Structure 1
Amino acid sequence: MKIKRIIWKWFSGMTFKSKLLTVFIPLIVVSLSILGVVSSEIFSRSLINRSVNDVIDQSSLIINKLDSITKNMEICSNMLVTDVNRLYDNFPIERTAVEENQFRLTMQSRLAIDLSLFAETDAAVFIDSNGKIYTSYPARNDESEAIRSGVPEELLKQGNYGSAYWFPMQKRNYMTPNPDVPVLTLGKVVININTGERYGTLFLIIKEPTLSASLVSGNNINQKNYFLVDERRIIVASPDKEQVLTPITNPTELALLKSTSEQTETATRNTDGKRLITVTDYPGMQWKLLNVADLDVLTKDVGKNTKLTILIGFTCLLLSLLGAHFLSKVVLNPLQDLTKRMRRVMDGNLYVEAPVHTNDEIGLISRVFNSMIKQIQELLQNKEKEQKRKREYELALITSQVKPHFLYNTLDTIYILNDMDRNQEARDTTKALADFYRVVLSKGRELIILDQEIKMTTDYLSIMQMRYPDVFQYEIRIPQELRNTPIPKLSLQPLVENAIYHGLKTKGERGLIVISAVKEKAKIILRVEDDGVGMSEEQLKEACCFQEEDKVVKSIGVYSVQERIKLYFGAKYGLTIFSEEGKGTRVDITVPGGKTGGKADVPDYDRGR
């Protein structure tokens, strides 16, 4: 703690310029160092990710090329099977020497012609059921080795004569025009299309260079690192001829091949930060396409990026020194001026204004300070107006609570009921009148719970129904869980009164008033509906004029309900009126939902206690 006090005393005694230099120079040095390390790492990762994406895209192209080659060979084999059938149709099975010589020449010619249509296929060999061998090329070696090798028997063991069978890549001195070049062989059994009689076996040969040529792309800097591996983990195609037909020996490559043997997605692995190995599945041949990239080659530009970052860092450090000197003059004077005006506000003077000299952050602070002072002044003025309005609403509420004409008419109704010996109805009316005014007066409190508001409104409806038995009937549909909702007193009664006098009394027949409540998300909607005469569009606009400022209010009661709800709950709550002429009117009161399941935040007296 002592060291901390010493450092703080030393720092607080500095000039503003020295503080800037002391704080920002270490920050800039540390930040630039972190920036250099992070940018190098990000740049390196970006290069690696881009290389991986390039390899994946290039691998997809290579796979498509290989797929095109294999499919073309299968198409070629189907064409040759058809041509062999036609050739057998033109020659007898048992042929003379002359016929056999002509048959051989025709077969060689037909094989050569069909192969000319498919550049990928290098040679074709047909071995009939008698062991005679026919080639598309001039035979240079003893082709009978093909019989002794068991290749035709291996093809026949596959059983399915309609499908092609691929033999592994191998180097041999038979069934190939060049014994020094490894070849990939496609075999297919040739049968009589009509009778099913087996004519022999057909073999199509593709040289390894044809496959490795598809692994080379001019826009790929690592083009020589692509190679194909079969299910035996043997390289079957590679631009590096010394790799062909050699097994994979690298442990990392073997492990990656093993882990992806059952996968079809492309997999990538970084080996000790030196090599990036990518494996892509080629399901058509059960092969894997491997790419091995040297990370040193991929990230060779990272060093240049680091040097550039260091150079920029020293430049920024120099500029920061110059900037600190400049800021000490530009920033300090406006701050001191603003501080003086803040002290005046602290002393209680709200009628100050800070000068705005610039459009930078200091200028923004000054504008915000001026705006804040102006808002405080406006809030004080609005508070005074709001208090005045609240007193006016309370006075209007007290005036509406008395309702002399309602009291006189109700007492007159009680007198008539007694005179008619309807004593029970007179007692009920008297009790309803007393309960009504008990809640209305309620010690001057404004907020009560919905249950008390409903009871008061029910008492009012009971009295009015006694006076106008043929005008209306009513229904109360308030769920129990909503009855503890806080609501301003006398929110429903003015709406019910309007429904009786303006909606149902002039209808000419008995109507219905329905009071209900529903909860929608965080709000509760109270509804007063009647099926009275309704309102025209013009009348509805006049009734809703309380929603607009500077409009003459037509209904003091409705306006009072609207303003008191907004006063206690906020501007987003209040009344909404819906009406259709000849069908009726509905008024929705929207209040906050709050805790509807338990007790609301309302005094006990307002709960009827």
Structure 2
Amino acid sequence: MRKPHSIKKTVLFFDFLIVVPLFILFSILTIAAFRNSNYEWNRSKLASVEERCSNIADRNTEIIKITNMLYLDSEINHILSEKQQLTGYEATQAQGKIQGKMRELTELFPERQYQIMILCSNGNSYFQNSLEFTGDRPTFEKIVEESWYSEMGQGNDTIYFLPQYRSPLLQNNFQEDTLFAVRNIRNLNSGRKIGTMIVAVSHNIWGDDTIETGENAENTIVMDQYRKIIYASDKILYGNAIEDNSYYKKITENEKGFFLGHVKGQNCHIRFSSIEQTGWKLISYEPYQSSWSFYVGLILGLGAAMFLVLTFIVLYNCSFIAGRMKQLNKNIVEVSEGNLKAKILENYEAEFQDIYRNFNTMLDKIQELMQQLEKEQEEKHTLEIQALQAQINPHFFYNTLVTIRFMIQMEEYQEADKAILSFSKLLRKAFANQQRLISIKEEIDMTEEYLTLMSLRYKDKFQWKTIIDYETGELGILKNLIQPLVENSISHGFNMKTEKGHIWIRAYSREQKVVVEVEDDGVGVDLERIKKCIESREIPKVKEQFSGIGISNIQMRIKRNFGEEYGLHAFLNENGGVTFKMEIPVLHLGGEET
């Protein structure tokens, strides 16, 4: 017969067979996780860049709206179309009207800083009141002499976005990183060119991000269609041209992306995205974070050290435990052969004493508990599953959503809004609190949200009223005990009723008990069937329940949790309907029961 391996040799074998490959796998996964986190980090940063690009494009759209409204104003166009320079009273009137229109347009977007200039070919110039010039005021004759003006296109009246560095005249008057939107103005009738409109945009178009400092700071630049930097968080780069290299090709040939590259002699994460309507690119770069490799090495080193320590501990413990197991084995053999009455009588160290003491106790109780625990767990599991299924009633969800859809189709938007609000509150209250006990006030609040939904669904077929003492409302109750009773009144009490029905919900304390009553004035109620369900101790099937969790389910939950002296009763009331009376103990949510 082959001699079996010792525990020490077996553990050592599996240590190398399993632990070593797992350690290698752990190392690979650690490196992959760091690389993936690096990729996800760059992707989240790129999303931020795209959002900034979208904001810039939105602001450009606002500028286009301003120029369109000013360009198409017939009264303003008539003033600008004068062939001779206006003087005296006419000039003052023209200034007032045009500046008023400029102020009106810029006030449409009060959070932006837009300032408008109109330079006419007849020598007139109109400036917004808020403009303050540090140099000579620009004129039409001076603007057309600049090189960029011919690039704008004499026959093209669309917006031309002009960076500050390309216009020496405008640069002298605007010291901030201002962008200019330039557009030719023509007579609306003849098409004759009568001037140029310039909208000066403050540097906040690039965003209000706080620029970090230090060697790991994230920097941002905006490159125009001429490869020039028209904005840079690092002021030294402003106005410079981006070199024609592989990085430039990646940026110009793609709409967005990120990659690793060199910027100013440093390895950097480079992220970029396009700005619509302009041909510009917003580029973000940040020094490459290489510290992660240090942490990878640290983790791998700690893993190797833990592996060696674990091997030593396992080998030592195996030798010690093997001796004790030989002494315990003779007692355990009897149990393994089916003798559940066997006792371990040997006295060992304190740690092993707990083993045989608990083992002996287990043998005494295992047979008794097996049958009892199996039965109780099966019943409790079935009951709780049904309660959970009833809370998440697909039919109720479907009917509610169909009702809301019908309200929207009928343009009953206020009712639909009210239904959605009540539905969302009901779901939040039903699922957010996973505690077994909640306050009576919370239970009634959740029931009222359900009543609001049902009232909207059945077009005010019933009314309800709740009466609850303040002290009683703070006491505890099992979750979802009241709503099924209300649901029964709606579903069965009002089906055959032609006039409006009524539901009364009352909660009060009496003789060291809490009493909750749900009363209705419905018709056609089968009281005998209700009483039969209440008195039944069988777990009801879902298809046999009246509605919701079910009346018999409520009774079983009360009896199981609080005892036989509490429970649910039903009787006919003087209004012809049914009254449910529920009695539970006084439960303080702090944990005490009185």
Coarse TM-score class (shorter-chain normalised): 0.3 to 0.5
Larger Rg: 1
User: TM-score scaled by structure 1?
Assistant: 0.45
